[in-house]
Structure 1
């Protein structure tokens, strides 16, 4: 049993019970010290009051004796009397002063002789002699006592009190330690060992039966631990059942997984074949897409060439008139020269004939000059537009003048319509560095698109081209008052091959070409606003100075 107690003490020296025991004893020690200190303080004050009473009683005992000695001025007897008073146990000093304040006798610890005066206290009284009902003050007597007298008087009581407190404390320590060990430490140790001996792999548990009272705290812990052990046993049984079920499920799932893996292998092989087939289809599709892109490019080039061919036809028609007039004038001039030559050879040339010849010659020369100048101007405009459309070079040009040259080359188409074109700009010259051929293509397609789609045949209309500068960009508003477009048409107007006039040969590439030129080649933007019956407005924004890349 002793070994068991030693083992328990060693194993639980840092347990809650030891901490609780230490707390209780510490509080008891503190209270004992406080009570003892208060008791000593009370004893000290009582002893001091008793000494003070002795000093006061000494006044009544020795007043008359001292007064008589001093009245007779018998200093020797005064010294004997004072010395005998000083020898009293509670008096440590005496001082006698005359009426003039002179010290007549001083012995023992007094204020004048003692350096450390904190422990001194005294009682002072006046010596009075009564003669014939008259009181005469003879002097003053001061009786002294100090702390050592009080300590000596209470020393034995303090020692007794301290020994009593130590004995009580030791007895309490032993008693509380035994009670704690019996009621808490040992049962908790046994409970801990029983709990540590639980085998989780063994579903059968022995119940713990340590607490004598199942209703106290230790009994509650014991009941809770037994309940936990029972629940643990039930849980382990359930877990064993679940484990067996899981093992059976694992076997079934493994078999199912194997079948699934085999099926996946078959499907993977099939998928590989489908992927190979799809890759071949994608390769064929990519080839078809490349062919389609080439076809689209060829169609766009064809559209450009068709536009250029239209310009050629228009310019040829326009040149035909001044050239025809020039040929007619030259033929007439040749006849006039032959007639005047015949008259000159026959000697029949008169002054009036020659004057008429020179006059007609000047008129014919003027007519031929005007016609040929007009033809030359048409050729120059067509040549510049044609060269720019066929080249990909950036150069500086006046966009207003270039628009005029483009419209001149399209003069035959413009004259066949009743649509009036107006150019609005706040500046006379608007220079920009860009692709002039691309702008010619934009102007040509916009004008042709407007003449074909915005107006019916012989319908009058007004088209306004407004140019403006905005920071470093050129903003062009191409506005007509024609038929307008629906929302569906606006959404698809820039799509390739979209046209509302396919019956009359529309390719659906005109506006798509404009969109690609503006957004890709000119690094700009193009938008359209339109309502049915309210006309249409195209807004093109592009840099005035395009970087040469």
Structure 2
């Protein structure tokens, strides 16, 4: 602040000095104009009448005026219309030449129409007029030092004031250093020592000035409060440590109890997983059992027809044998026997062939369902075998199943999981999708996309309820609970596709628009 005040005062002094010097120059300029006007008025009548000596004598009177150093009088000569010097005054008689006004142009003479300062000199030209006509010029040169002699004095005075102010500033700063800054430094060092040592029992000593002493007392009061607060915090910390110890004991006890509970939960969860796996296996076996029952029922019909035909053939053979032995055999009787025998043998052959096909197809499906081995197979034949196996469940229903699969599609994969996936999807559509509907169609499109096999399964049933759409692949999700539905069919499909086949399955369904399953899994063309 002292430095700022000192700088402000110093700049203000310089500003005032500049104003004073400018004012001095203006006064000198006015002074020069005044004397030039006086000389012009004095010389006008003498020049007009041709009395040049009077002009010279009048100029000699300026010897007492030291500031006027040089004066030239120029007169306009007629008819040449040129200017020439007719009178000169030189205070020091040094014969100094003034600017040659005669040789100057009008623009150059116009420069001197205002006083021109050149170091210690000031020059000025003024026209001499007589009855509003210019008959000559006055050139005057004055010494500006007399008018500006105060400049040096002013500079000296400013310099002395500057040094006096500088000394005063140093004295004040020194006094402030000893009386204010030093106590403040001591106060700061005491506070720093307190903060570093964290010893808030220390107190600030009495200060020499009232303001600093008031500050010290306030700091001491603050330290008293801090010390009391720290003591309260320490007491609260001790209490908190005690409570924490008690809490840790409770937490340890609860943790042990939670560990035991978690162990029991893990054991229960493991058992639930085992039960779930058992239920999935039971679902597989139940599906296989349904197939066994259906195939047994289907095989029973051709075998029964075969037994009936063979029994009838045996009776006819006994009749022909008896007639042959009794020698009562007629040609018509033999012809009838041969016709009936041919018909019965055909019946026996066709029904035994049908039973053999059913048993062979069931054998392949059963073997595939119980096996997770990779093998090469024709996918279209696999679908036909599945359809043949499901014939007992769907032959008395109004539902149609259409397979769109290339006849020569040979792949290497696991037929067992594929078998189970297709059977569960078809049975799921019949049981849940159509739900005793008078009609329904299932369409399965199969195509090979690079190293992936795509199965597009679609039915036109009632679709899946949006409330369970996002969790149809979760175990035990069913709309037939209590009606024979286990909720494991689509869960089994999801596990077989994602785990056994290493693929993915996506469901798209809207109420009343059926359900679509998009299945993709990797396949190859040859066994490695």
Residue 343 (structure 1) shift? 6.4
Q: Does 1:194 align with 2:161?
A: no
Contact 1:518–1:540 under 8 Å retained in 2: no
Q: Does 1:465 align with 2:451?
A: no
CA 1:25–1:511 in 2, change beyond 3 Å: closer, same or farther?
same
Choose from 339, 344, 348 the match for 1:368: 348
Q: Does 1:478 align with 2:478?
A: no
Q: Measure the CA separation in 2 of the matches of 1:425 and 1:436.
A: 17
Q: Does 1:162 align with 2:148?
A: yes
Q: Measure the CA separation in 2 of the matches of 1:284 and 1:368.
A: 64
Q: Measure the CA separation in 1 of the matches of 2:231 and 2:409.
A: 88
- Give unpaired runs (5+ residues) of structure 1: 1-11, 66-80, 127-140, 209-225
CA 1:170–1:336 in 2, change beyond 3 Å: closer, same or farther?
same
Q: Measure the CA separation in 2 of the matches of 1:56 and 1:432.
A: 137
Choose from 302, 311, 319 the match for 2:299: 319
* 1:77 match: none
Say which is worse superposed, 500-509 or 41-50, in terms of deviation. 500-509
* 2:92 match: none
* 1:30 match: 18
Q: Measure the CA separation in 1 of the matches of 2:265 and 2:278.
A: 19
Q: Measure the CA separation in 2 of the matches of 1:375 and 1:186.
A: 130
Residue 29 (structure 1) shift? 2.0
Residue 301 (structure 1) shift? 1.9
* 1:232 match: 215
CA 1:505–1:408 in 2, change beyond 3 Å: closer, same or farther?
same
CA deviations on 1:299-344 (whole Å, 9 max, x unpaired) are: 3223212211221222122112212322333444455556556767
Residue 172 (structure 1) shift? 6.2
CA 1:431–1:525 in 2, change beyond 3 Å: closer, same or farther?
farther
Residue 21 (structure 1) shift? 1.8
Residue 360 (structure 1) shift? 3.0
CA 1:363–1:529 in 2, change beyond 3 Å: closer, same or farther?
same
RMSD: 5.2
Residue 34 (structure 1) shift? 1.6
Contact 1:518–1:525 under 8 Å retained in 2: no
Residue 495 (structure 1) shift? 4.2
Q: Give runs of aligned pairs for residues 36-51 of structure 1, distance below 5 A.
A: 36-51=24-39
* 2:309 match: 329
Instruction: Count how many residue pairs are aligned between Structure 1 and Structure 2.
Output: 464
Choose from 407, 413, 416 the match for 1:437: 416
CA 1:244–1:277 in 2, change beyond 3 Å: closer, same or farther?
closer
Contact 1:96–1:106 under 8 Å retained in 2: no
Q: Does 1:496 align with 2:496?
A: no
Q: Measure the CA separation in 2 of the matches of 1:480 and 1:178.
A: 111
CA 1:439–1:254 in 2, change beyond 3 Å: closer, same or farther?
closer
Q: Give runs of aligned pairs for residues 440-451 of structure 1, distance below 5 A.
A: 440-448=419-427
Question: 1:437 is paired with a residue of what secondary structure?
Answer: helix
Residue 15 (structure 1) shift? 1.2
Say which is worse superposed, 317-326 or 360-369, in terms of deviation. 360-369
TM-score, reference length from structure 1: 0.65
Residue 351 (structure 1) shift? 5.4
* 1:539 match: 516
CA 1:470–1:166 in 2, change beyond 3 Å: closer, same or farther?
farther
CA 1:346–1:368 in 2, change beyond 3 Å: closer, same or farther?
same
CA 1:430–1:506 in 2, change beyond 3 Å: closer, same or farther?
farther
Say which is worse superposed, 467-476 or 191-200, in terms of deviation. 467-476
Contact 2:40–2:128 under 8 Å retained in 1: no
CA deviations on 1:402-456 (whole Å, 9 max, x unpaired) are: 55532432333345xx632123578887969665433432343345456667899
CA deviations on 1:209-261 (whole Å, 9 max, x unpaired) are: xxxxxxxxxxxxxxxxx3xx465244224224314423542553354355346
Q: Measure the CA separation in 1 of the matches of 2:342 and 2:492.
A: 50
Q: Give runs of aligned pairs for residues 352-367 of structure 1, distance below 5 A.
A: 352-353=332-333, 355-367=335-347
Contact 2:383–2:403 under 8 Å retained in 1: no
Say which is worse superposed, 50-59 or 429-438, in terms of deviation. 429-438
* 2:200 match: none
Choose from 232, 247, 253 the match for 1:249: 232
TM-score, reference length from structure 2: 0.67
Residue 31 (structure 1) shift? 0.8
Contact 2:466–2:510 under 8 Å retained in 1: no
Q: Measure the CA separation in 2 of the matches of 1:41 and 1:442.
A: 119
Q: Measure the CA separation in 2 of the matches of 1:278 and 1:55.
A: 129
